[in-house]
Amino acid sequence: MIKVIGLFIVFLSLTTASMAQKVDVSVFPKPEKGYKQMVIEVPHSAQDNNKKIEFRVGKMMEVDGCNNYGLMGTLEKKDLQGWGYDYYVFQSKGDAFSTQMACPDAPKRHLFVSGQPETTRYNGRMPIVIYVPEGFEVKFKIFTADQDEYEAQEIRVKK
């Protein structure tokens, strides 16, 4: 019983310590007019180095039932001067592009149409701050690598 309580206390203190070290997002600039600030926060783990985060900025749109869609816009990575932290600004007028297949009978659908995905390192102590126009959202995925490491084969050229 004492071991269980001891382990619980260690776990609680480690969890509290990792949460206490998170960066306060109030140091980042306030969003400009017409923009909002989005934050991705993930828990710290011992496996942070084996993970990546991929995020996409986009919005829900009504589109046809057969074409692929993308959102026109630019994602710029900026430096928070004096702090050494990065943040992102997505600029878009909301225009979409698509493939041009004819599908007059396909029913319309609501789809999250996004710009190009951005992949960044996973850091449980550092939020990912993204400024997006009003009406846009941010979705993200977490990718985890295997512990296995592989080696490429050399192709030998005959002389």
Nearest-5° angle of CA 20, CA 24, CA 26?
A: 160
| Residue 19 confidence (pLDDT) | 47
Taking a C-beta distance cutoff of 8 angstroms, is the pair 53, 119 a contact?
yes
Three-state helix/strand/coil letters over the chain: CHHHHHHHHHHHHHHHHHHHCCCCHHHCCCCCCCEEEEEECCCCCCCHHHEEEEEEEEEEEEECCCCCEEECCEEEEEEECCCCEEEEEEECCCCEEECCCCCCCCCCEEEEEECCCEEEECCCCCCEEEEEECCCEEEEEEEECCCCCCCCCCCCCCC
| Residue 55 confidence (pLDDT) | 98
- The Cα–Cα gap between 79 and 8 comes to 39
Q: Which structural domains are found in the chain, ordered by start?
A: 23-144 (2.60.40.550)
Average pLDDT for runs of 10 along the chain of length 159 = 51 46 86 97 91 97 93 97 94 95 91 97 94 98 91 92
| Residue 23 confidence (pLDDT) | 78
| Residue 130 confidence (pLDDT) | 98
